[in-house]
């Protein structure tokens, strides 16, 4: 069971995300069936009773088919937003970097994730050439997680 629940004021999500980099490129997921063109990090909800590191390894394997060694907890992201249906969300995501191996680095653009009929796929996004590209979370564009090893805390409030 995912660690997500409804309250009288909105929904809460507890998530993990994976920061997968190769130089200034980052591996992101995209759903081509969504009318809005945007990319998002590999990751998902933590399951009840699952540690953060267990959740990261599971999500990474589910979405890329590759097992990697976790490097470190890089940041926490508190995200407050309203979904398309008008439902307010309070989401806490813990983002980890991984030590990419050859299999992970050789995932090609258009590699399918495990999401089946939704058609999600993975793509390497060049952070030095991504003007006009929408990426969630947005701080992926501004922080070089390979060079800057300081732990970060981000808060995003979207209405």
Show the domains of the chain with their CATH numbers: 4-157 (3.90.79.10)
What is the per-residue pLDDT for 59? 95
Rounded Cα–Cα distance for residues 33 and 132 (Å): 19
What is the per-residue pLDDT for 113? 65
The three-state secondary structure class of 64 is: helix
Over the chain (159 residues), what is each successive 10-residue block's mean pLDDT?
Answer: 95 97 93 85 97 97 93 98 92 96 84 63 92 93 93 93
What is the per-residue pLDDT for 118? 64
The three-state secondary structure class of 84 is: coil
- Written as six digits, the tokens of 65 are 């088919």
What is the per-residue pLDDT for 34? 78
- Burial string for 130-143 (b: 16+ CB within 10 Å, else e) reads beeeebbbeebeeb
């Amino acid at each position: 069971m995912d660690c997500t629940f409804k309250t009288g004021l909105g929904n809460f999500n507890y998530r993990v995300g994976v920061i997968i980099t190769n130089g200034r490129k980052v591996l992101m997921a995209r759903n081509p069936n969504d009318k809005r063109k945007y990319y998002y990090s590999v990751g998902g909800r933590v399951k009840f009773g699952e540690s953060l590191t267990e959740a990261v390894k599971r999500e990474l394997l589910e979405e890329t088919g590759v097992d990697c060694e976790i490097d470190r907890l890089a940041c926490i992201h508190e995200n407050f937003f309203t979904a398309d249906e008008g439902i307010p969300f309070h989401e806490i995501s813990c983002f980890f970097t991984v030590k990419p191996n050859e299999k992970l680095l050789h995932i090609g653009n258009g590699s399918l994730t495990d999401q089946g009929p939704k058609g999600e796929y993975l793509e390497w996004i060049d952070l030095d050439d991504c003007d006009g590209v929408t990426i969630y979370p947005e701080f992926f564009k501004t922080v070089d997680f390979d060079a800057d090893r300081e732990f970060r805390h981000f808060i995003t409030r979207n209405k």
